[in-house]
């Protein structure tokens, strides 16, 4: 098929990044975050590539868990915080899904239902994110309601950090202490806290299970990994040049002529727009690579197209390849910084019409 707009997924990069998690947290089991379709990389593909390298997978929606289970009959799959009802619990039991219990009502429901098989539960403590998770009192009550229940195969304890990527460790230390002391007061249970940033910057939080997401896909939210420790981009977003033209000084480009030529300029029109997942909010000056050379956006991103100033790259021609992100010279994080967003959002917004190429 004729291809103008595509994402390449690199299994070597994915496995390199997983190996980096293993190196940084050698004593911990790894629960790979493959929610949101593997951060846009394809949950089935990611799980397939990482099977045998990591120790389980986590998703955020019931539908994601069922799809992944069909592809991964024997892997541990954790369903993160969701609404819990009897139907969901039955499904978790028959599909062998671990489940996060983040509120006391769900713990009581689990204790009082009749299941064909017991479930492993991950009790979530709210330590400061104030999103999901129980207060100390409810956590202890949930723990006591579920310990000894025939419906519960094992209890894990978890929390999620709000600030692990920042330069100030105070919030993370506080969150760590809150779960650590509560968990040890209840006995010896597997504990999980660390997301990517904590894996990289807060080794004391690694404990029994780490939960890397974004670092598997090649972005270091702390920007601390460098040199041989660098992560590799698992996704590269590419599109072709569809047209090249010269505009005269004083002419505008694109909708509302937001970008104005201050001198005669060569403009390349590229087959990627917001309907492909390139952010519409990208300002003039956002970097792209044209045939590997840095060039900058000139004009508003439209539904199917974007425009780039290529005056300094005279060889540019129709059919040439533009890398929008996912290269050692241009990370998704850098594009995100220009667009007031993060790589997580860029990755998960690639739309269905973009071709997927698995390397
Ligand atoms: C509960 C939970 N754990 C771990 C992660 C992974 O975070 P990151 O992608 O920053 O590693 C997430 C992602 O948002 C999450 O919601």
pTM summary value:
0.95
For residue 194, report the distance from its CA to the centre of ligand 1, in Å: 8
The tens digit of pLDDT for each residue in 46-105 reads 999 999 999 999 999 999 999 999 999 999 999 998 999 999 999 999 999 999 999 999
Query: Ligand 1 pocket, 195 CB below 6 A?
Result: yes
For residue 161, report the distance from its CA to the centre of ligand 1, in Å: 9
Substitution site in 56, 157, 197, 213 for ligand 1 pocket (most atoms within 8 Å of beta carbon): 213
Q: Is the domain defined by 11-220 classed in CATH 3.30.1360.120?
A: no
Cβ(196)–Cβ(17) below 8 Å: no
For residue 340, report the distance from its CA to the centre of ligand 1, in Å: 20
Q: Exactly one of 39, 137, 238, 255 is catalytic; which is it?
A: 255
Assign 117 a pLDDT band (cuts: 50, 70, 90). very high
Rounded to whole angstroms, the Cα distance separating 286 from 337 reads 9
What Cα–Cα distance (Å) separates residue 295 from each residue in 164, 182, 288, 311?
A: 33, 53, 5, 9
Substitution site in 131, 160, 206 for ligand 1 pocket (most atoms within 8 Å of beta carbon): 160
The tens digit of pLDDT for each residue in 172-230 reads 999 999 999 999 999 999 999 999 999 999 999 999 999 999 999 999 999 999 888 89
Cβ(6)–Cβ(30) below 8 Å: no
Assign 2 a pLDDT band (cuts: 50, 70, 90). confident
Query: Ligand 1 pocket, 214 CB below 6 A?
Result: yes
Assign 263 a pLDDT band (cuts: 50, 70, 90). very high
Among 322, 295, 311, 303, which Cα is nearest to 245's? 311
Residue 255 annotated as catalytic: yes
The tens digit of pLDDT for each residue in 278-301 reads 999 999 999 999 999 999 999 999
Among 186, 185, 132, which Cα is nearest to 160's? 132
Handedness of CA 293, 296, 297, 298 (dihedral sign): negative
The CATH label, of 2.40.37.10, 3.90.1170.50, 3.40.1010.10, 3.65.10.10, for the domain at 235-358 is 2.40.37.10
Handedness of CA 68, 69, 72, 74 (dihedral sign): positive
Do the domains spanning 11-220 and 235-358 agree at the CATH topology level?
no
Q: Domain ranges for the chain, please list them.
A: 11-220, 235-358
Cβ(127)–Cβ(121) below 8 Å: no
């Amino acid at each position: 098929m004729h291809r103008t707009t595509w994402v390449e997924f690199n299994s070597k990069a994915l496995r390199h990044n997983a190996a980096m998690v293993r190196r940084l947290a050698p004593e911990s089991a790894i629960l790979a975050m493959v929610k949101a379709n593997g951060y846009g990389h394809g949950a089935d593909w990611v799980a397939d590539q990482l099977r045998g390298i990591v120790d389980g997978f986590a998703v955020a929606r019931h539908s994601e868990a069922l799809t992944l289970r069909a592809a991964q009959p024997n892997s541990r799959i954790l369903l993160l915080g969701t609404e819990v009802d009897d139907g969901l619990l039955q499904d978790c039991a028959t599909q062998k899904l671990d489940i996060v219990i983040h509120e006391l009502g769900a713990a009581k429901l689990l204790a009082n239902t009749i299941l064909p098989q017991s479930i492993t539960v991950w009790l979530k403590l709210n330590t400061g994110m104030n999103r999901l998770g129980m207060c100390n009192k409810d956590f202890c009550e949930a723990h006591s309601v579920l310990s000894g229940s025939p419906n519960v195969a094992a209890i894990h304890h978890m929390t999620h950090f709000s600030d692990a990527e920042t330069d100030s460790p105070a919030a993370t230390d506080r969150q760590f202490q809150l779960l650590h002391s509560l968990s040890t007061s209840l006995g010896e249970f597997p504990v999980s806290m660390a997301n990517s940033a904590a894996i990289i910057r807060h080794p004391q939080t690694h404990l029994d299970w780490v939960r890397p997401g974004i670092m598997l896909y090649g972005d270091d939210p702390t920007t601390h990994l460098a040199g041989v420790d660098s992560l590799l981009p698992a996704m590269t977003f590419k599109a072709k040049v569809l047209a090249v033209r010269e505009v005269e000084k004083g002419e505008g480009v694109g909708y509302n002529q937001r970008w104005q030529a201050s001198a005669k300029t060569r403009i390349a029109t590229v087959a990627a727009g917001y309907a492909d997942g390139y952010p519409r909010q990208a300002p003039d000056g956002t970097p792209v690579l044209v045939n590997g050379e840095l060039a900058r956006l000139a004009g508003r991103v439209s539904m199917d197209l974007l425009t780039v100033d290529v005056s300094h790259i005279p060889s540019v021609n129709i059919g040439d390849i533009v890398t929008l992100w996912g290269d050692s010279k241009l990370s998704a994080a850098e594009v995100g910084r220009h667009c007031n967003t993060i790589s997580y959002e860029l990755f998960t917004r690639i739309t269905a019409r973009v071709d997927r190429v698995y390397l």
